[in-house]
Amino acid sequence: MKFIIQRDQLMDSVQDVMKAISSRTTIPILTGIKLEAHADGVKLTGSDSDISIESFIPKEEEGIVYIEQIEPGSIVIQAKYFPDIVRKLPQNTVEIEADEHLKVTIRSGNSEFHLNGQDADEYPQLPKLHTEDSFELPTDLLKNLIKQTVFAVSTVETRPILTGVNMKVANKELDFVATDSHRLASRKIPLTEETENIAFSSVVIPGKSLIELNKILEDTQENVEISVTENQILFRTKNLYFLSRLLDGNYPETSRLIPDQSKTIVYGNTKELLQSIDRASLLAKENRNNVVRFQTKTDNQLEISSNSPEVGNVVEEVTAKSIDGEELKISFSAKYMMDALKAIESDQVKIEFTGAMRPFIIRPIDNDQVLQLILPVRTY
The residues binding a copy of itself (CB under 8 A) are 78, 81, 84-85, 88-90, 104, 110-116, 275-276, 278-279, 282-283, 310-319
Q: Cβ closer to a copy of itself: 89 or 351?
A: 89
Main-chain dihedrals φ then ψ at residue 177, nearest 5 degrees: -130, 135
Q: Cβ closer to a copy of itself: 174 or 320?
A: 320
Q: Cβ closer to a copy of itself: 210 or 318?
A: 318
| Nearest distance in Å: CB 369, a copy of itself | 30
Q: How far apart are CA 198 and CA 4, in angstroms?
A: 42
| Nearest distance in Å: CB 329, a copy of itself | 19
Q: How far apart are CA 128 and CA 325, in angstroms?
A: 56
Exposed/middle/buried for residue 345 (C-beta within 10 Å: 0-12, 13-18, 19+): middle
| Nearest distance in Å: CB 312, a copy of itself | 4
Residues 6+ apart with CB under 8 A from 232: 127, 129, 243, 244, 245, 246
Q: Which long-range CB contacts under 8 A does 170-177 form with residues at least 24 apart?
A: 170/201, 172/196, 174/145, 174/198, 176/145, 176/146, 176/148, 176/149, 177/149, 177/251, 177/254
| Nearest distance in Å: CB 36, a copy of itself | 20
Q: Cβ closer to a copy of itself: 86 or 216?
A: 86
Q: Cβ closer to a copy of itself: 2 or 279?
A: 279
Q: Which of 251, 248, 222 is nearest to 235 (CA)?
A: 222
| Nearest distance in Å: CB 287, a copy of itself | 12
Specify whether the CB–CB gap between 148 and 370 falls below 8 A: yes
Q: Cβ closer to a copy of itself: 190 or 312?
A: 312
| Nearest distance in Å: CB 276, a copy of itself | 7
Q: Cβ closer to a copy of itself: 299 or 310?
A: 310
| Nearest distance in Å: CB 4, a copy of itself | 19
Amino acid in the structure at residue 128: K
β-strands 111-116, 134-138 pairing: unpaired
| Nearest distance in Å: CB 88, a copy of itself | 5
- Please, what is the angle between helix 270-280 and helix 334-344, to 10°? 160
Please give the C-alpha separations between residue 299 and each of 61, 147, 162, 269, 374, in angstroms, as whole numbers: 62, 35, 41, 16, 26
Q: Cβ closer to a copy of itself: 104 or 361?
A: 104
Q: How far apart are CA 289 and CA 280, in angstroms?
A: 13
